[in-house]
Structure formats: C-alpha cells, structure tokens
A and B are shown apart, each in its own frame.
Chain A
C-alpha cells in the first residue's frame, strides 16, 4: 500500500498513544492499546485500494486535525433547533465530547441511555461483550483510529423484553475548525427488546473539520432496532463512519441513512445476520451538490438460513458532485432460503454530476432468492411534461420530481418531526439546484 503515513493527518497519532486517562478496566485499556498498535501498522487508503477506488481522500490527508483541546460550552438555546420533539432522551456530544448539561439521559426500568465512560465501570457485563467486538478495527484504519481514541461515547442498553417507546436522539455537534472528533456509539438490544435511535451529525460552523465515527449495534434474539442516521455536516467537513450491526435469531434491524453534508464523506454499514431468520431493511438517500463526494459502502452478510434483507439506496447528484455506492450481499454456504433484494437508483441533475454504483453479490448457497438492480438516469421528460401540462413551470416540475425521488426514502423514517424536517431540507436543496 502507500505513502501516506507521513501525512499531517496521522502525525499526532504516530508520535505516541493518545493522551487519554487509563481506565480502571484492564480489558478497556487492552482494547485501546490494540487499536493503537493497528493504527501503527495500517496505512491511509488510496484510490489504488479496491475499496477506495472512486474515493480520493487525499484532501483529508493534506490537512492537519487535532483532537479537541477545550470543549466549547454551548447553551441549550444554541442547539434547540436540532432537538426532536418525539425524543425524550437525548445525548449531546460537542466536538466529540459529552455535554451532560445539554443531555437528558435515561436510567430507568433497566434501560440505559447514557455516556459510555459513566457506565462502563458499573455495567461492564453489558458492554464488554460488544464494545470493539463488532467493528473490524484491526483491518480498518479509521475504525482503528477511532478505537485508539476510545474514551467516551453514546451508550444505549435495552434490557430483555423491554420496549423503549420514545426515540433516542444521539446528537453530535461540530463547533470548532481543524478538530478531529471520534464519536462512538454502542447500542445493545437484548432479547425481545425494541428501540428507535437517531444518530445525527450537525454543524454550527462552515470550516473544515474531521468526524471519524464508529457505531456498533447488537441485536439479540427477537430484538427490533430502528436506526436513523442523518449526516448533515458542514460543506467543508470530512466525515468517515463505520457502523457494524450483528443480528441475532429472528431479530429485525431497519435503518434509514440520509447523507446531505460534508465535502468528502464515507459511510460503511456492515450487517451480519449471525443467526437464523434475521431480517434487515437498510435504505439510504444521498443528496449532494457542488463538489461534494459521498461514498456509501454497505455489506449484508447472510451467514445463516432464512435471512431476509431489503435495500433501496438512492442518490440525487447535482453540480459537479460525485456519489459512490458499493453494495455487497454475501450469502454464505448453508444460508439456505435467504431472501434478498437490493436496488440502487441514481438521479443525475447535471452533466457534470457523477455516480459510480456497484452492486456485488456473492452467493454460495443454492436455495436462495436474490434480486438486485441499479439504474442511473435523469428526470423523465414525460413526467416533466405531465406536470407542465397542469400549469407548473418546468423548474417547479423538475424540483417536485427530484423531491419525490428523495421523499420515497425519507417517508420510511419512523419519526414524524425529522421526516418533516428532512422533507423541507430536500425541498430547499432541490429548489436551489441550477
């Protein structure tokens, strides 16, 4: 591999382990130490690596980012506009640092919604089997980097047969330029439990900064998790995130991921159907313009029989922006009666917009149903004419159709307030397309 170890980006790490306080828990320190070792070995990916073929992150490596030195103290009034009315529990992180005064954690009926460092010594039995166990940080520089900085994060633990009625809002706010933050989320849904979580990345600034996030989600037997992910970083930000999900017997994971922000973003979502009869529905919407680059890599690993997966990924690309989708579906030997469908649909709004889409199926079982397809196109002129014939101007017609293309995904978000807000955002963004 490559050259880039002398980049400004990795300098601080290579000079020694991150200056973090040691945990009283040996396993926690060991996990972090192993990640530090891996960071020393792994190199920054380049476009010569197959997994990064279309995504040139050299602009990221040319800049220098520092871990946050002093947390900015925000008032509730500064960030209230990001709150979701349905969410009664909320964890807020400012530049990656937990902000207790802005958060409303939950600790009742055995449900834990709190920051990780506060809970890890009290609840190691719930955390240790999962933290750092689902994300393959050993082979992934960014996940290793995040784990090397592991100190705090968002923790959700839902005990068995418990259903959390209101959605949990995990809000990550970027306020300082040239800062690297390492958001970390762990969601453990014990058997028969149900929860909805929103992972939300927002910015109060327009400068360059770097978010390197890792999320791990474990669903035990019969658990249900709704995961909404909204990336609305600033236009100059770099956002790289890894999410790993492990599905127990007959569990069901539904996720909707919406990508709006960042100059360069990369989201890797890996779902492992680790037991029989697991189901997942993972949908994505990417809406980018100008010179944005957004790369979505997903992998669904059907490791056991009777698994179901559904995926609809849509990109709306304007300006000279570039969207990348790589959707891997793996059906392991013996994963019979797998039922999988994947669709990648892409809308190019300008001549300079670009999409690279690559569905990837590896089927190693013989009794399966797998469908996949990809389309790349422009707005249908018959649809535009239909709307014009009803009195709408061509530009309004085009905006409405673009909006509709995205709304199909947004409609799948189970939280009305964020759905409504995203619909507005899409409407505004499509209306300002040239």
Chain B
C-alpha cells in the first residue's frame, strides 16, 4: 500500500492528555502518511483508547501538552464534528445504541451532513437506500439493519459492522479503529477485515488500535507500534505483532528501560 508520493496525514508530537485529572498520555509521538496502515498495540491501560478518543475530540479527555496536526492543521482547534467532516473517523470500541432512531435515518443524516460540508451532493431517501445497500453488501449485512434502531439489539459483531459501514459512507482520510476486533467471532472478523481492506486506498490511512494480533492476520499493517504508559516505546514492521503474540509485552518494556538507561 505504500507509494512514493505519500502525504503526511497525521503528525503527533509530545501529546499529553488527562482524564479526570489522571495523566494517561505522556508524550506520544507518531506520524501517519497516506496509504499506510498502522497498528497500535499494548497492554490494557497503556493509553491506546485514550489516544483514539483524543483524536476524535472527546471532551472528557483534556489535552495538556504537545501538538497534533491533521493534514497540516491543528486538530485541537476543531470541534469533534468538524474533525469528522474534515475526514477523521473513529470506529468505537463500544458503539452507542440509539433507540427510536432508525439506522437508515441516522446513516443518511450523517452522510448528507458530511457531504454538504464537503460541497458534495446529498442523496434523497430513495437514492440513499440504493447507495447504502450497495455498501452493506461489502460487509455482508442484511438490509434489515436499515429499519432497526441504531445499534439497538445488535450483537457485538453487528455493531462493529455498522461502524465499518459508517466508515464506508463517510470516506475518511484517517480512520481510527478502536478494538474493532473485540467481540467478533472468526467469520465476523474475516468479513469486517475484508470490508476495511477494500476501503483502504493510497489516499487514506488506517490506524488499528488493538490488544491482540489476530486482527493483523487479516488487515496487514505497515507499522506496528507498542504503547506503554502513555507513550509509543517501540515501532516495527508487521513481524513485531507476531513477536508480541508469542512473547507478550513485558520484554518490550524491559528493552525500552535498558535503552533509556544507556542513553542517560
């Protein structure tokens, strides 16, 4: 997927953030270019999901230091909806249920809102219906999901498919998938991964936040980052994920500490 004329989409430098006064991110650095797939791995509590939510603009997370540029612009000057319209997409670890709003209504509203902001054509209900059904085939979703309330009564796997469906509709430049593999059985994992792979282009980038390596068998990353205590402490290629799967995370931390001592 890597090509010559890659453009820097995301540039994170020294990012620090707190939630409820507790510091979670402690100087995080990462650069993501177009056409790339990145995996951020790490033990529970290392700050992976916090990083994802900070990028999307969740107000419970306070940025206390560092900078994030998205396509050269200061991301923190944008409200969450402006980030979404600008091309940042977060697939939630726990998608929210909205009883009383039909999924079709919700999907069309978000699609048309984003289209309008991008100066593109909006679709009426009939046009949208054709359009969305086509996208749903990608994820082997039954059209029944259009008539049900947003995520209400969906299984874990169905919710994740619905997230990727939204990604397909909103066509983000930068998609952050937060634990998209959790709660998926092997068939659902394959389908969701195929969907994501088809949405990856040379112009966009995907950041996978995951605890386990198994997702990376299906969506092959160009870079694997290991996060610990709010920082990325090691970066490697896709083989690093396999190594983490067999050896666990502890050795990375130990190696990092040794390296830090040597430098000091």
Residue from A386, A394, A401 within 8 A of B79 (CB atoms): A394
Nearest CB in chain A to that of B169: its residue: A390
Q: Is the CB of B98 within 8 A of A385?
A: no
B58 contacts the other chain (CB 8 A): yes
Bound CA–CA A391/B109 (angstroms): 9
Interface 1/0 per residue, A362-402 and B, CB below 8 Å: 00000000000000000011110111111111101100110
Residue from A385, A389, A391, A411 within 8 A of B100 (CB atoms): A411
Q: Is the CB of A392 within 8 A of B110?
A: yes
Instruction: Report B-chain residues with C-beta under 8 Å of the C-beta of A381.
Output: 59-60
Instruction: Report B-chain residues with C-beta under 8 Å of the C-beta of A391.
Output: 81, 84-85, 110, 113-114, 117, 170
Instruction: Report A-chain residues with C-beta under 8 Å of the C-beta of B76.
Output: none
For chain A, residues 42 to 84, give those with C-beta under 8 angstroms from any C-beta of chain B. Answer: none
Instruction: Report A-chain residues with C-beta under 8 Å of the C-beta of B85.
Output: 391
With A401-B98, A407-B100 already in contact, the answer to whether A385 and B113 are too (CB < 8 A) is no
Q: What distance in Å separates the Cβ of A418 from its nearest Cβ neighbour in chain B?
A: 17
Interface 1/0 per residue, A403-427 and B, CB below 8 Å: 1111110010000000000000000
B101 contacts the other chain (CB 8 A): yes
B80 contacts the other chain (CB 8 A): yes
Stretch at the interface among B15-23, B88-96, B249-257: B88-96
B227 contacts the other chain (CB 8 A): no
Q: What distance in Å separates the Cβ of B145 from its nearest Cβ neighbour in chain A?
A: 16
Q: Is the CB of A389 within 8 A of B57?
A: yes
Q: Is the CB of B84 within 8 A of A388?
A: yes
Nearest CB in chain A to that of B91: its residue: A389
Q: Is the CB of A394 within 8 A of B96?
A: no
With A388-B80, A391-B170 already in contact, the answer to whether A400 and B96 are too (CB < 8 A) is no
Residue from A389, A394, A405 within 8 A of B84 (CB atoms): A389
B99 contacts the other chain (CB 8 A): yes
Instruction: Report B-chain residues with C-beta under 8 Å of the C-beta of A380.
Output: 96
B50 contacts the other chain (CB 8 A): no
Q: What distance in Å separates the Cβ of B240 from its nearest Cβ neighbour in chain A?
A: 29
Residue from A386, A392, A403, A404 within 8 A of B95 (CB atoms): A386
Bound CA–CA A233/B229 (angstroms): 60
Q: Is the CB of A390 within 8 A of B79?
A: no
Using C-beta atoms within 8 Å of the partner chain, give the interface range for chain A. Answer: 20 to 34
Nearest CB in chain B to that of A402: its residue: B100
Q: Is the CB of B99 within 8 A of A390?
A: no
Instruction: Report B-chain residues with C-beta under 8 Å of the C-beta of A401.
Output: 98
Nearest CB in chain B to that of A407: its residue: B100
Q: Is the CB of A383 within 8 A of B81?
A: no
Bound CA–CA A401/B81 (angstroms): 16
Q: Is the CB of A383 within 8 A of B100?
A: no
Bound CA–CA A119/B92 (angstroms): 63
Residue from B58, B60, B170 within 8 A of A390 (CB atoms): B170
Q: What distance in Å separates the Cβ of B121 from its nearest Cβ neighbour in chain A?
A: 16
Q: What distance in Å separates the Cβ of A412 from its nearest Cβ neighbour in chain B?
A: 11
Q: Is the CB of A389 within 8 A of B90?
A: yes
B166 contacts the other chain (CB 8 A): yes
Residue from B81, B92, B109, B110 within 8 A of A394 (CB atoms): B81
Bound CA–CA A202/B187 (angstroms): 55
For chain B, residues 203 to 259, give those with C-beta under 8 angstroms from any C-beta of chain A. Answer: none
Residue from A390, A396, A407 within 8 A of B166 (CB atoms): A390
Bound CA–CA A388/B88 (angstroms): 12
Bound CA–CA A126/B89 (angstroms): 65
Instruction: Report A-chain residues with C-beta under 8 Å of the C-beta of B56.
Output: 385, 389
Q: What distance in Å separates the Cβ of A313 from its nearest Cβ neighbour in chain B?
A: 15
Nearest CB in chain B to that of A380: its residue: B96
Q: Is the CB of A393 within 8 A of B99?
A: no
Instruction: Report A-chain residues with C-beta under 8 Å of the C-beta of B81.
Output: 388-394, 397
Q: Is the CB of A404 within 8 A of B99?
A: yes
Instruction: Report A-chain residues with C-beta under 8 Å of the C-beta of B84.
Output: 388-391
Nearest CB in chain B to that of A426: its residue: B100
Q: Is the CB of B110 within 8 A of A390?
A: yes
Instruction: Report B-chain residues with C-beta under 8 Å of the C-beta of A394.
Output: 79, 81
Q: What distance in Å separates the Cβ of A344 from its nearest Cβ neighbour in chain B?
A: 16
Residue from B96, B99, B100, B149 within 8 A of A386 (CB atoms): B96
Nearest CB in chain B to that of A388: its residue: B80
Nearest CB in chain A to that of B113: its residue: A391
Bound CA–CA A268/B60 (angstroms): 43
Q: What distance in Å separates the Cβ of B249 from its nearest Cβ neighbour in chain A?
A: 29
Instruction: Report A-chain residues with C-beta under 8 Å of the C-beta of B96.
Output: 380, 382-383, 386
Q: What distance in Å separates the Cβ of A293 from its nearest Cβ neighbour in chain B?
A: 25
With A381-B59, A385-B59 already in contact, the answer to whether A405 and B80 are too (CB < 8 A) is no
Residue from B79, B101, B113, B149 within 8 A of A403 (CB atoms): B101
Bound CA–CA A211/B166 (angstroms): 49
Some 14 contacts from A to B, beta carbons below 8 A apart, are A382-B96, A386-B92, A386-B98, A389-B56, A389-B90, A391-B81, A391-B110, A391-B114, A391-B117, A392-B110, A392-B113, A404-B100, A404-B101, A408-B100
Known: A389-B57, A393-B81, A405-B100. 12 other contacts (CB 8 A): A385-B57, A385-B80, A386-B96, A387-B98, A390-B170, A391-B81, A394-B81, A396-B109, A400-B101, A400-B106, A401-B98, A408-B100
